[in-house]
Homo-oligomer: A and B are copies of this chain.
């Protein structure tokens, strides 16, 4: 039931080479590829099979620019908290939002309280399911040579209002999707010295928190 070495290598390659992109060119994305992205989302796991994912494709330029202004305002707010030296980095996200071929909002559906299976003590499992769906979109896009950037600089209630989202629904991501001239070779924040990759012994424990695990 294990896949061939060639298949595994392709899967490890896409996991390794997927990047959060901020630089796009304006070449349109083929409809056939967009269809593959949404199909990959639908094949994600979901708690209690609730399939809470909804996507809103923003093709209207005025709505896109309204989102752009929202993100710009939140980046300015965040800059006051994290220091202005990060502002240049954050503004890359903003420019990506203007330049990318496609903007999609990824959201949680309304009426989620009816779904109790696997969510009675952990209602946030709906966001976990949506996130798995977005990761599927991201990997599929990378395989097709398409970049994706996840933007979370906005007030969810404002974005929900803009898109006439029903009460109880929730926008979790603005996805910038588009053709790119090149993919970054590593996460941009790593390149910029923001942080290093965690060591294995920092993230993997055995039986109790903090106890070293030798695989």
Q: A-side interface residues toward B, CB under 8 Å? A: 1-3, 6-8, 10-16, 18, 20, 31, 34-36, 38, 40-45, 47-51, 53-60, 63, 74, 77-78, 81-82, 86, 90, 116-122, 124-125, 127-132, 134-136, 138-140, 143-145, 150-156, 163-166, 169, 172-173, 180, 182-183, 187, 189-190, 194-195, 197-198, 200, 203-210, 213, 215
Pick 25 A–B contacts, CB within 8 A, sort by A. A2-B145, A3-B13, A10-B10, A11-B139, A12-B36, A15-B139, A38-B200, A45-B187, A47-B152, A49-B190, A49-B194, A53-B203, A56-B204, A57-B215, A60-B207, A74-B121, A78-B118, A121-B152, A121-B153, A128-B131, A128-B134, A131-B135, A132-B134, A132-B138, A164-B210
Q: B residues within 8 A CB of A163?
A: 207-209
Q: Which of B3, B16, B49, B116 contacts A189 (CB 8 A)?
A: B49
Complex Cα spacing A159 to B159, Å: 35
Q: B residues within 8 A CB of A197?
A: 42, 51
Smallest CB gap from A2: residue in B: B145
